[in-house]
Structure 1
């Protein structure tokens, strides 16, 4: 038996290629190289998710040393390991991929309508639909623009100058990077009616015609960073191509001398002349040429040199020179180097030289054999020029440059049949629609929980804060646990849509001259959403410019001192093991360290590592939770818009249709014996270890609490002694009204159910109230939503004085007298807007 040891990077950066080596220790004798007669060596990558360990498909490799490139998807797994086997011997190597320090696009793929890779050499036709994917690193939630080009460059590369007029889609298609690091769009070739004409308009150098196929590729660019990536070409059959007639050359055939001047002839009129980019680095090579620093600070200088590396002060036509660039940490990066001729008082549009290069070194790189041709001199000859030219060098940093595969497309190509199974072909291209209200155009995540005016305000706030409005609504959803209740106050007295605390309220008052107070008795909880959104903006103002990612946005709310560290996945936000600071009187100093320690146990929702032994909450755990709410928000956009001036009044009426059975309802945290057991207060198989059913929802209510009708309806049953329920009221309501009141509650407790057997078989719906101390309505009486029907109490099996959990028992059924157990019942938590329970308040009311 031998001991197999793997060496390599345990914390590989996503997007980088890492090498892993194998060493074997046979019979206690060290061997740096494996024996040539050793068994086959096989490598596999294993990932751990909720279902346990499994082999990641497509990552099996062989040899003494191999390479792996980890994608953004690898960050989602609990753990990863490399497993190598050699005969009966086996070695394991645990790794933890890290988020890339800077965003980049690693690859662009072109797929068919079913999301399948195109076989090499396959030709498509102009009736096809193409799906394009950009594989991105460190770009979740960011926008990528896609452009389709016809390629007239020779060989595999894409020359941006040659192809500059070959853009097929006038406006780029925009895709958003998802959780797997992929942005995708759909190109429907039939919709680009000018594609064939554009493709036939230009020829590759040396070609007499476009031939029977056109070559297409796609570039993907990060909208905010100018990170540009191109796909390989795909071949599309040219439907207008007529093959040249076959003829034998005649011996006395003489070539015509009346050929048209070449495309690049200086006598040809220049159309749409190129010009330097506004923000790129520019370096003068003569006194009058202009200089502009690199805004990113990575391109330090560029100059002409001779063959020995000496700086050239002047040059003449015909000289062969070099371009030397001094850079900072740019090894492996791609840049475009251009030479321009500049007039004394303005930039001209005379592009004399352009080349894309990959930098081989971090600091100093040289392009050799650049010839200053006569054509360059002539090309820049315009009115008013003297005998000398003013040249400058432009260097454009591309961050990433990737090429996609080539696919051929033709009129006689085989049409791809649409797969009947689920596929990415269901992606629909956006149609031109008439512009309406901005709240409708924005398609705001979680939009259905806000009125038109509230949605507009969220969008306006986000513009001022330079952030994504969907990040704001997702953060509100998480902070209010999907209730969007401005009056929500948690046990720590944080209040409202983003849970503003005492200190934050004081800071807002100091900065803005306001007078708000948080907490149970503060005025913040009494505000409408429109009013409170103003204070949400005030709270976030200090972090303007840092709210670039979803994680950073939420950190500004949760732990503001860490805003800006959203990309540092292993940064510790909360840590219960921190040693606190004390003052001279031995009192704990409530500084940042105290907050980090105290907040760990208060925020168990972020404990994603599977156990809490380590006692730390990392950025990646917080990011994962807010991403869950962000994803839910997409499914909760508003779909019905009626954006009139009086929309706020109408929607307020709609929202007031449902009234909770008790104001500010909380689930009962304690059972009859006073033991902490919120699970037993929920609906389902939740008692005695899942053996006993609970038919409704127990809502905390000290004796005498007003009980309200939840919807308009009719009292159909009153009982002074309904067995375990005691004083009991049943109200029949309209099914449609009830359905409209349903919220997005997710089952929370072990054994909790969404509904019982038989529920939904009837079109009738009933609300049932139990354990009342007083009934204030009569049989067959009409009631309206919010009307008081009685008071909570201690009747039925809650009548004993020793019981320590006073509550209202509330049920929703589809029968006036529902059956036993859970039969004909639905979980009321899908309708009641439960607030975060206040444990201290409930403990103080045990009686």
Structure 2
């Protein structure tokens, strides 16, 4: 299909921070109809280059005009600017903002304490004033809150300073202070205006060149009207630094109105105003505070208590809670809500988050891992195919390297195409499962898959393997073969009984569940989705303790200075107790210590103790303490929940663990779980590289005295070729493996390859 839309854009690729830039469309793709070549319909979207080299959205989008002003923090990053009619293509122009040589204040904005921008505030609440600057890092700015109670022009006795404060500009080019509007009400009360209903105010921010600031904030407490009477207009003229931004801007409203405080007056002799910024706001008696708490009808007089700022965790606020949120970090929870708000509106974000997370739970097999792979050509949070990844301007390989937060930008872009049609959870899932069926979500008897339909190449025997792999992701092959590929949705009586089924891609018969010519209906998929993923999610709403804007402790990255931090404890135990039998001192006493920190504190050396050893090693670390806090004394407790329940239905599994998909991704410290119910840690590999060597407790070392009930802490080998059959590899969810950990040491072993009798 020929491309349509914007072909090329032009503009300054090295803009100076703080300066407005206009980017324009230079050309359109030739096949774009003339009627569609309307710049007003073009979306301009800014992407930022992340540490892994991938550009992901900043969520800064503008419709119809490519006008951008880069802030000071932008000079540390590289951006990609795209303009498109339909969807981003992963191309555009690269932008590297440059530092400004001239210090200046770009703009001033007001915010409620909850972080939202505001213009109208309650008399009884605080607000935050922020000044956005360039080339002023570390410099002090003077903020003045003043009352503009005179409706006309010119200065007036009613134009009074409420409060002045100062703040330093941070590394992001932002300085901020908070103001309490109650002080303005106090002034009105002192003037006899006890029933004031509203006032207009300004916040003026000024930067003085060569100014030596006092060290404390300037608070004007209980000011008397006569002390705040402004100086004459002629006397309030402020000296401006030559060729400075202030000299070119003219007068601020503050200067125009003749507003001057005592500190400013003393500074005029030793400092020049270099730049200023200003914004206007309003305070209203009838306006409720940002937290929507009811206001008192009582007249406010001098002794008004300031309202305390809310300390409630963002993730635990009712409007921010959603299903499966306890499986995510604080940043990840915020990202899910952000995506749902942008797609379906702030008022619908929690409802849609419930639905989206239920779908991610289903598609990622309960792992919520961006690298989840079904080994059949689908990967990620919603199991992107190669084709869907390409349509989003990326690849499955790149998606698997992303963090949860980064990949959610692509999840958003995927759903954005048909967001207005996704009115039900079923339609939301159909866009993932079978996009051509979107809109049928309420049609319970609609057949999503139908094995009875015909396909052009019959059984595929005359079609090449490469062509069959392409066909299987296209219609009508998707409809025909989707039925037998989704046995979890077979809910009719007798439908899960196995039969000999011709497998199109493999060109052979296999035992597969399902009826001959069977169908998958909407009602079946919806029932499974709701019961096993949506309803289960209700039981997994976050209610713990989180640090906002920080990753969970168990998801912190390791450094090359310390490989898998739990391993030093495992190796230390080997050095201390290796060769000592579990029924001998001092190992038998130490085994009781392992159980003390487990979910079975009554356990001892006569109990199978391999899992309690693994748990104890994690418990010694700072960042992974409590990583498996449910049940942790059975080997299968260390498999992720979905896999654990396949082995034993009565265990919960390691909810904070995720499967490693390939033996190529093995690393020093990976948890290794065996099919005969044993668990240990990967420590290295044999000289020939064919076997892994693992370290663990309750293992055989092949030495004298070894035998049932007489195991020890040892190292043992296992052939890598048995991966996925005899053993699985798991890591803490979100754990980033360092290059140093990927390099397995060449080791010898003091034990033999274990079988079931060795550890049971």
TM range (shorter): 0.3 to 0.5
Structure (1 or 2) with the larger CA radius of gyration: 1
Higher helix share: 2
Higher strand share: 1
